[in-house]
Structure 1
Amino acid sequence: MNRAIDIYCERVGTAFWAEPLNAVSNLAFIVAGILLVMALRRQDQAVRRDPAIGTLVGLTFLIGLGSGLFHTFAVLWSALADVVPIALFILLYMYLSLRRLVVLPLWMCLLSLVAVLALVTAMPILFGFSVSTYAVALAAMLGVGGFLHFARRHPAGREILIAAVIFAVSLSFRTVDLPLCEVLPIGTHYFWHILNAVVLYRLTRTMMRHGAPS
């Protein structure tokens, strides 16, 4: 659990402060969480008391804290603190999107979650390379957002598609972090944090507006 992990350009040692930009940029998630709390307090009582939306807001804070721990301690336990809240946010948001926005039956929502988990697990086994969970999340955002916008003319569709575009840019910064390391020693991973905070804020605000119980 304490094995050192070095997978980002900015980290050049094992010191606690070896990734200052990657660590400090996680404050963007905390800012997003604070803004979401402020927005939630302005909603009606049904939205404020909705445990699902409250969980999305709480996970935004946890993602910032977990990622901050990973980019400072950089060991296995902190990596788990990083990825678990992200995975929970993705799965919960996908479920809420399908259940509350697309309005699918419960069994279809759960089956879709199982299918996503199976895809993320099976692709590396079938093709011999690691397929990013984030690419699957991006595909899901484009699929749900596109369906809502073009097939249903649902106002949430446009918002999810905008978030998907921002997420695609964010994912590109994450992807090029190591390949550009020789020409850009500080890397690009911190842009991933900042843009993802924007994505989480927009997605959660969209669910507050269009997917909360009435």
Structure 2
Amino acid sequence: MIACLALCMAALWLTRRLAYNPPYRRLALALAGVGVGGLFLHGYDVVASQVLGLGMIALFAILAIHRLTQDFLDLSPMQGALVTAIFLPFTLSAIPLMALAKGALGSLGLAPFPILLLGMAALLQLRNTQLSGEFLLAGIGLAGALALRGLDQPLCATVPIGTHFLYILLAGGILLRLVAVAARHALAGRA
């Protein structure tokens, strides 16, 4: 729960710093919502808290896909919405898979997002864009965070505190960095 609180506080701090860039400010605010959802998800063992926690993750992913594809793949708002609509079934199917599955299988529900980031890194690399490395780092970092999430239950006997908090901190840190860097580059591209 402390990791979720840290994510929430860091995302709110970033929200304040991005006052000049409303689209990315909304992304940072959605990431703060992921932290709040995580507090409920890890604090209360009821279905509503799972829906809130996992729903906030899905909302952030959808908003991020739409914004990032528009800004860095030079798509129109309609084309960005189409890419998001194509990705939407993968994101929404992740919610029940994560809610029902424990351990490594539950982590597979989050796999579409790092895969998309790695694909965007490859497309940006083809365009010789500076940001390709940031997307590559984000994709690899999220994949590593998912590995930590998947190892949490199997390692529970060996590592009593588990690795779930590391998953939250790593994923949150990676996404915070991606939002901050993308906001800076998007603003420079609009200038």
TM-score range, shorter chain: 0.7 to 0.9
Aligned residue number for residue 33 of structure 1: 11
For 1:170 and 1:192, the matched residues in 2 are separated by 5
Q: Does structure 1 residue 193 correspond to structure 2 residue 171?
A: no
Aligned residue number for residue 152 of structure 2: 177
Alpha-carbon spacing, 1:38–1:117, altered in 2? closer, same or farther (3 Å) = closer
Alpha-carbon spacing, 1:185–1:27, altered in 2? closer, same or farther (3 Å) = same
For 2:78 and 2:70, the matched residues in 1 are separated by 10
Q: Which has the higher helix share?
A: 2
Per the TM alignment, residue 121 of structure 1 is displaced from its structure 2 partner at its CA by 6.0
- Asked if the contact 1:120–1:131 (Cα under 8 Å) also holds between the matched residues in 2, the reply is no
Alpha-carbon spacing, 1:25–1:177, altered in 2? closer, same or farther (3 Å) = same
Instruction: Render the CA deviation track for 1:60-105: whole Å, top value 9, x for unaligned.
Output: 2111111011111121111122112211111111111111111023
Per the TM alignment, residue 145 of structure 1 is displaced from its structure 2 partner at its CA by 1.6
For 1:68 and 1:178, the matched residues in 2 are separated by 19
For 2:57 and 2:149, the matched residues in 1 are separated by 15
Q: Does structure 1 residue 88 correspond to structure 2 residue 59?
A: yes
- Structure scoring higher RCO (CA < 8 A, sep ≥ 6) equals 1
Correspondences of 1:42-191 after superposition (within 5 Å): 48=20, 50-120=21-91, 132-148=108-124, 150-191=125-166
Aligned residue number for residue 7 of structure 1: none
For 1:24 and 1:177, the matched residues in 2 are separated by 17
Q: Aligned letter for 1:208?
A: A
Gaps in structure 1 of 5+ consecutive residues: 1-22, 42-47
For 1:30 and 1:152, the matched residues in 2 are separated by 34
For 2:169 and 2:107, the matched residues in 1 are separated by 23
Aligned residues: CA RMSD: 2.5
For 2:91 and 2:25, the matched residues in 1 are separated by 27
- Asked if the contact 1:173–1:189 (Cα under 8 Å) also holds between the matched residues in 2, the reply is yes
Q: Alignment length, in residue pairs?
A: 181
TM-score by length of 1: 0.75
Per the TM alignment, residue 169 of structure 1 is displaced from its structure 2 partner at its CA by 1.2
Alpha-carbon spacing, 1:63–1:119, altered in 2? closer, same or farther (3 Å) = closer
For 2:88 and 2:107, the matched residues in 1 are separated by 12
Aligned residue number for residue 210 of structure 1: 185
For 2:56 and 2:6, the matched residues in 1 are separated by 16
Runs of 4+ in 1 over 4 A off after TM superposition: 120-124
For 1:131 and 1:28, the matched residues in 2 are separated by 21
TM-score by length of 2: 0.83
Per the TM alignment, residue 34 of structure 1 is displaced from its structure 2 partner at its CA by 4.0
For 1:51 and 1:202, the matched residues in 2 are separated by 17
Instruction: Render the CA deviation track for 1:17-71: whole Å, top value 9, x for unaligned.
Output: xxxxxx1111221242144145325xxxxxx1x4321211211211111101111
Q: Which has the larger radius of gyration?
A: 1
Gaps in structure 2 of 5+ consecutive residues: 97-104
